[in-house]
Structure 1
């Protein structure tokens, strides 16, 4: 894999000053930490850098073979996305909890009568609502995270982009929407699905 000039410079900075925090790396480049987020994520995911909580980044020197990198990260979301579970806005919390465990998913996608995405209901949302309310017949529309505050992704984006988006926003799944829309769901991508993809490809490589 060929790194960008900025990524190469980040590697050299870490080599010279490890351990070093993201803020200090950004300062040395006269940039903000958010500007470097994708670069640092890529270098960490490929094993070149190792991110240690409360310590900073260190140089590990490990690299992923180009062909394996292609299989792991540059595949499209469309290649590994899975079906989403939908519920209606007037579904009760009690029924939503039943659906959540019946389908063994972390999030339910709330749609309107036209099957357009209007919100997302996560396990955290359900737990919060159950603890705050004694009534289990409240409709999910009252407690769900509403559009346009739901982060989505399109099927032609890469798995690397999906993983980075999941980390940035600290969510477990992303609705995959048809390109050119933000509410026509065609699937979902989750942290678990991405991890399974990595394991599957690793097993294939090991078997060769």
Structure 2
């Protein structure tokens, strides 16, 4: 059964928040209750959701696209690759050499226990175009600091990861766990996820090889 974008949104809302009333669904989607009647009727007839009087709508799970369900089950931890790291004392040139030798587009700054930032191929290209001397330039002058870094957690769905890559227009993001040491947050690096990982997952599922 092929669902519209709104029907998919309603399904997600009911699955994550059910039982939930029609008025509450409408409020989350910023539409009127009457505007949802047709969509709710489709989802009810397809036995994707059900409704009980005084209780609201709840999720059944039937009728959903099997491919979408399978992709949603895939987590960052299952699909991530090994990350490339340089210390905070490195130069921009050191990062550029690592990107070239490893044939990757992103390198992380710091240690495995605490990532301080991220540098992409684009960042290094901008610095080079500015006629900067990459050998004498500290990596800190090029990197995006961890306070602004977009990341995924190991248990995060690959659908959410793909959405972040698109929304923030980035090619790669780190997979991290946040730990506290004497009240200070540390970003422990578990792996990395890029558009290549998304493509690899798509190919595996398309060939029916599972995960």
- Give the alignment's Cα RMSD to 1 decimal: 2.9
CA contact (8 A) 1:74 1:160 kept: no
Aligned counterparts of 1:78 and 1:134: Cα–Cα separation in 2? 37
Structure 1 stretches lacking a partner, 5+ long: 12-28, 32-63
Equivalent in the alignment of 2:76: 77
Is the Cα–Cα contact under 8 Å of residues 87 and 110 in structure 1 kept in the other structure? yes
Contact 2:174 2:193 in 1 (8 A): yes
In structure 2, relative to structure 1, the CA distance for the partners of 1:121 and 1:9 (3 Å cut) is closer
The TM-score, its normalising length taken from structure 2, stands at 0.64
List aligned pairs for 1:133-172, cutoff 5 A. 133-137=131-135, 138-172=137-171
Cα distance in 1 between the residues matched to 2:157 and 2:89:
34
Match among 100, 121, 124 for residue 123 of structure 1: 121
Shift of 1:65: 7.0
Cα distance per residue 1:48-68 (max 9 Å; x no partner): xxxxxxxxxxxxxxxx97433
In the TM superposition, what is the alpha-carbon distance from 1:9 to its structure 2 partner? 8.5
- 1:191 pairs with one of 186, 189, 195: 195
Rounded to whole Å, the distance in 2 between the matches of 1:182 and 1:173 is 20
How far apart are 1:75 and its partner, in Å? Answer: 1.1
Matches of 2:187 and 2:132, distance apart in 1: 32
1:95 aligns to 2:99 (yes or no): no
In structure 2, relative to structure 1, the CA distance for the partners of 1:9 and 1:121 (3 Å cut) is closer
TM-score normalised according to structure 1 size: 0.65
In structure 2, C-alpha distance between the alignment counterparts of 1:81 and 1:129, rounded to whole Å: 28
Is the 8 Å Cα contact of residues 178 and 187 (structure 2) preserved in structure 1? Answer: no
Unpaired runs of 5+ in structure 2?
11-28, 32-62, 180-184
Alpha-carbon distance in 1 for matches of 2:9, 2:200: 30
Distance in 2 separating the partners of 1:155 and 1:118: 18
* Paired residues of 1:77 and 1:156 also in contact (CA < 8 A): yes
Structure holding more strand per residue: 2
By how many angstroms is 1:166 displaced?
Answer: 1.0
